[in-house]
Structure 1
Amino acid sequence: MTTIEQTLGMTPWPSPREPHAVSRLRSERLARSAKPFLARGGIKGERCPGCRLVPTHCICALRPQVPTQVGMCLLMADIEPLKPSNTGWLIADVVKDTFAFGWARTEVAPGLLALLADPQWQAFVVFPGEFVEPQRVVHELPNRSDPLPAGRCPLFILLDATWPEARKMFRKSPYLNHLPVLSLKPEQVSRYKLRRSKRDDHFCTSEVASLCLDLAGETHAAQTLQAYLEVYTHHYVQAKHQLPPAWDGAEHLQFRDLNPS
């Protein structure tokens, strides 16, 4: 039988799939749950543990990983790692140096504090500048001819939550108060379809990460992550409506152009 990977001319990700930071956080959160997590709406029944889609729509064979000189730190609201529509998972698929921590108002993960103190990283909290003291806000990163202090690599801290939750997280995380705030000014509007927002300038976490990568000069990684999001969204929606994915559709063609076999 011809596999999807053979049809696409792609090498499947090694099996068993090595869990990344978001996957591990999800496992930890599930272990603390008193009852199974049931997502509202969407797909029912069995899901692939690697990509959270139904097995017939699995995209694990497409998992890209693009070398970058940046890091991503996802500070995730309580149930975000459990949601099938969470796009932080896609960031961890693409960017090797992705870290994920659960957020709580009364405590902070020791690993997060250690990461913020690691001298190899210069952390930026990604958040709208209109809600921040002006002296903390930056809109650009130093270019490659003007490196960050002590040769540090940028570490983007993304508050992975709904907008009301993210505002609460920002206000009630004093360990972030000393860090610069990167305020993005994207020209496009969000194309994310799996959750709705009343504002076009609200982006899903994966889209924010893509904008950060682009700002850091990691153009290929930014484009790959955006294309990967489009593929995931297509498969999710098709599965929701019990339709097969279009493996030769626009989303897959764009993704394969960026990641040829």
Structure 2
Amino acid sequence: MHAVQQLHQYRKSLSTTTYKSRGQRVIRCELCRLAKPFCICALAPKVSSQAGFLMLMYDTEVLKPSNTGKLIADLIPDSFAFLWSRTQVNPDIITLLNDPMWQPMVVFPKAYAGDEREIFDNKITVTSGKRPLFIMLDGSWREAKKMFRRSPYLQNLPVVSFTPKTPQDSTELSSRYQIRLAANNTELATAEVAAQVLSLAGEQTNADLLDLWFDVFSYQYQRGVCQINKANPNAVADYTEFAKLNGITLAKDITN
């Protein structure tokens, strides 16, 4: 069980009522949070990465089956997840940010960073001997802005900012996330942002794999909750073929 799954179990234990959302009657896998007939746990990838991801999750975000932050933790071994609080700071967050092995940086649009922040704009530089720790603010856009502005421990950290691009022709990327409505289609899901970050960090295979894993999740999610499926119908086949071509092991190896 990875960090986001553990946080989901913890947050659920604090609830005095059942969290209700669209598709609440669906019987779900406790790990991938998809309808049990469409569980993707057997397809989970096993890879290595120099990057780490710290997910700061808004209170109810971790309870949402549609959350895509967990897809990052499915892929990246060094993933960490914490509930965000405006008034109380989890000391484990501070310990992680101060760990000398990591170079923490917040993934957020540079327009909100201010003039004094160090900005990694479409290029990431990591100090020798350190590994990048990408901090993802996981929630709605309104919630993410609140986390960015009201977390004192983030205020002096560098910001990673980029214009999302497609790898094929470098045109501006539109979100493929149809599970929730965004204000506009350039607001990417958390996993889509992480894939762009991995590409900037020089891990293109992992970036492509996360994009494909996101497609698998989107397709299977919609199969479980609605009759109209707008996701890629070839998502599972594309993902498993990519894994096979790149020698990536899956939780249950079905690539042969």
TM-score, normalized by the shorter chain, greater than 0.5: yes
Q: Pick one of 193, 203, 207 that aligns with 1:222.
A: 207
Q: TM-score, normalised by structure 1?
A: 0.86
Shift of 1:134: 3.0
Shift of 1:115: 0.5
Does the alignment pair 1:120 with 2:101? yes
Instruction: Give the letter aligned to residue 157 of structure 1.
Output: I
2:49 & 2:120 partners in 1: Cα distance?
Answer: 22
Deviations 1:153-182 (A, max 9, x none): 111000001011111111100111110011
For 1:253, the equivalent position in structure 2 comes to 237
8 A Cα contact 2:107 2:136, kept in partner? yes
8 A Cα contact 2:26 2:224, kept in partner? no
Deviations 1:203-252 (A, max 9, x none): 110001101101001111111111011011111111112589x9x94211
8 A Cα contact 1:74 1:99, kept in partner? yes
Cα distance change on mapping 1:180 and 1:50 into 2, 3 Å: same
8 A Cα contact 1:43 1:240, kept in partner? no
For 2:190, the equivalent position in structure 1 comes to 205
Instruction: Give the letter aligned to residue 232 of structure 1.
Output: F
Instruction: Give the letter aligned to residue 211 of structure 1.
Output: Q
1:239 & 1:259 partners in 2: Cα distance?
Answer: 24
Q: Pick one of 35, 47, 50 that aligns with 2:17.
A: 35
For 2:250, the equivalent position in structure 1 comes to none
Shift of 1:200: 2.2
For 1:178, the equivalent position in structure 2 comes to 156
For 1:16, the equivalent position in structure 2 comes to none
For 2:219, the equivalent position in structure 1 comes to 234
8 A Cα contact 1:43 1:54, kept in partner? no
Aligned residues: 235
Cα distance change on mapping 1:65 and 1:134 into 2, 3 Å: farther
Does the alignment pair 1:25 with 2:25? no
Runs of at least 5 residues in structure 2 that lack an aligned partner in the other structure: 165-171, 245-254
Does the alignment pair 1:196 with 2:181? yes
Q: Pick one of 112, 124, 136 that aligns with 1:141.
A: 124
- Alignment root-mean-square deviation, CA: 1.8
Runs of at least 5 residues in structure 1 that lack an aligned partner in the other structure: 1-18, 143-147
Percent identical residues? 42
Q: TM-score, normalised by structure 2?
A: 0.88
